[in-house]
Amino acid sequence: MNSDITIIITLYKTNEDKIKLLSQYKNFKVIIFEQAVKKNYKNKIKKISRIKFDYYFSNKNIGLSRSSNFLLSKVKSKYFLFTQPDVIINEKSIKLLQKAMSYKKNLIFTGPKFIKQNQVKKKHKEKYLIKNKLDASCMLCDTNKIKKIGFFDEDFFLYWEDIFLMRKINQSEYKMIQVTNSFANHKSGQSSKKNLYVNLIRNLNFKYGEYLFEYKINKLRKLKIIRQFLQSLLFITFNFLLLRINKALINVSNLLGILKFFKFYLKN
């Protein structure tokens, strides 16, 4: 058991195939937060994954930012691996991320090189590459440094929180690196059960996050919001009349994302 690293993962309507992937963390302490469930599914997840873990759940979807910050509050180890259930990474690659933390004193994140499944793992001339942005779906984090500077902004729900975090890191004394001999595979967009509601929630919160990010960095253009609001209304009507239901629903989710931002903006 590696006592220096804790794995933290948020689950939301996660497929059993992805829950099985949790077995790759059998030699680490694992903390799970499951969203939008009506009862404790710890035993079910334990049966599928065959690992030990601490488990927390909410009957509501509180968002990735809030759930991740909650999980961080439970971390006692020197480092934690922030990851997602559809990410594949082996123990060797995680240990290489840990080893890389000693490369510089001001490192806060180390991340693997993402490759496609069965892709040849090519060697890179440089073992460590300083980056302005890492793929936040899997990165090793220095616990104390993150608690000092703050993790995700909880105004973000599902998207853009990582971009905002990376921007904050780039404006600080801390650095992040990609470890080129550490590898991971991300089956993006497949960690949750595919259904219309999930897709609408994702699209809605992507649009909301887009405006929220621009607002927080003082680059929000009100004319853009008004234009896209009117365009969404027009496209909803147009696509419904042509019976393009899926496209119309995407337009609806865009409109709802804009309205969600309006609500936030009026409160602040």
The pLDDT of residue 190 is 47
The pLDDT of residue 239 is 87
Angle (CA) 194 200 205, round 5°:
115
The pLDDT of residue 99 is 96
The pLDDT of residue 191 is 52
| 177: β partners | 110, 130
Which residue numbers in the chain have pLDDT < 50? 190
pLDDT in tens, 51-88: 999 999 999 999 999 999 999 999 999 999 999 999 99
The pLDDT of residue 192 is 54
The pLDDT of residue 247 is 87
The pLDDT of residue 155 is 96
pLDDT in tens, 109-144: 999 999 987 776 777 778 999 999 999 999 999 999
The pLDDT of residue 193 is 53
For the chain, give the secondary structure using H, E and C.
CEEEEEEEEEEECECHHHHHHHHHHCCEEEEEEEECCCCCCHHHHHHHHCCCCEEEECCCCCCHHHHHHHHHHCCCCCEEEEECCCEECCHHHHHHHHHHCCCCCCEEEEEEEECCCCCCCCCCCCCEEEECCCCCCEEEEEHHHHHHHCCCCCCCCCCCHHHHHHHHHHCCCCEEEEEEEEEEEECCCCCECCCHHHHHHHHHHHHHHHHHHHHHCCCCCHHHHHHHHHHHHHHHHHHHHCCCHHHHHHHHHHHHHHHHHHHHHHHC
The pLDDT of residue 217 is 96
How many CA atoms are closer than 13 Å to the CA of 191, on its beta-carbon side? Answer: 20
The pLDDT of residue 1 is 79
